[in-house]
Amino acid sequence: MSTTLFLVTVVIITALFFDFTNGFHDSANAMATSVATGALKPKVAVLIAAILNVAGAFLSTEVAKTISGGIVNDAVVTPTMIFAGLVGAILWNLMTWLFGLPSSSSHALFGGLIGAVLIGAGASGVNFSVVVSKILLPAVMAPLVAGLAAGLATFLLYKLIKRADAEPAAGWFRHAQSVSASLVALSHGTSDGQKTMGVITLVLITAGYQEAGTGPQFWVVAAAGLAIGIGTYSGGWRIMRTMGKGIVDVKSPQGFAAETTSAAAILASSHMGFGLSTTQVCSGSIMGSGVGKKLAEVRWGTARKILYGWLLTLPAAALVGGVAAAIALTGTIGLLLVFLALLVGAGTIYAISKRSPVDSANVNDSAEVTINPVKQPADV
């Protein structure tokens, strides 16, 4: 095996690991409100989301093309830079998952790549016009538009249907949520499932295994779809608790409104090739559904923490990606050190998470995710 092929293989494996983290990090996007309202049982919800994420990955490749030939200049980017960018994205994803923060996996990926390319190739390696038009502007507009749409939809539902929270209307909305949540899961596959496809395609292009300007090959689509599906099925319960219980005490009509508007926004953006954050869209919709219902309580303290996470994601991932690139580009030893740091960092975060586990059995127990709880002595 040549050195180039070995490096490409390592990067592809790392990219698929990122895709896995994207799946469990973002599984809450589709199913948090349905799980919170009782429309779907937790394990059934993530199984449906996983299957539809895989299916959605095959529906479009426009977002993949934005990444493989859009945000960075593939003529100057190397597989090592892409590897370093992925390390930044993975570590940020795991850190925000630990604290139950629904940050953007998409922006973590973009930030990691941008930081690594800036260190490795300079400003000429990043297409800033594409970053602004297809990443930054949608990042500002998408949650606002989704929130307004969900707020209006929620307001109209409660105006048109008296006692919408009571039976039998609530039961009809819970059934409807099964459909609307499935649409979000499908749309998530068309958006986030493509981002890893774009990264792998970019690696193949920069290594000379694929022509510039071409889209992802079938095996890339299949592998990325499967990786995000497996990640989704693993649950990501920590973030699901925050989105289902931490922002708004969601009722079934609100959940239906939030999911429907989220699915519409994500599908439209995928068709246009925008690198949209599905997390931001879904979080914005949930906040909007809280504002749209009279007397509903929106936990603005939690919302502020989520906003801080959004603002930090791209620059934080860029910083880690840049540091990783500076080390990895020194040679083989540097590359191995970065890979070792990724394994140690991921293992440490996972070990810390086991101190305060959140799973399908307790995902709806409370609104907050706590780290390092103090254990009380047992009663005598």
How confident is the model at residue 121, as a pLDDT?
Answer: 92
> Measuring CA to CA, how many Å separate 141 from each of 129, 134, 208?
17, 11, 37
Per-residue pLDDT of the chain (380 residues; tens, 9 = 90+): 678 888 899 999 999 999 999 888 877 777 888 888 888 899 999 999 999 988 988 876 666 666 655 678 878 889 999 999 999 999 999 999 999 888 888 889 989 999 999 999 999 889 888 888 878 888 888 889 899 999 999 999 998 888 888 888 888 999 999 999 899 888 888 777 778 888 898 899 888 898 887 878 999 989 999 999 999 998 788 888 888 878 888 889 999 999 999 988 888 777 676 666 788 889 899 999 988 987 677 888 888 888 898 899 999 999 999 999 999 999 989 999 999 999 999 999 999 999 988 888 888 876 666 665 444 444 43
DSSP letter at 259 equals H
57 closest CA partner among 191, 233, 171:
191
Q: Which residues pair with 248 in a beta bridge?
A: 298
DSSP letter at 210 equals S
Those residues whose C-beta lies under 8 Å from the C-beta of residue 196, and which sit 6 or more positions away, are: 15, 16, 18, 19, 22, 224, 227, 228
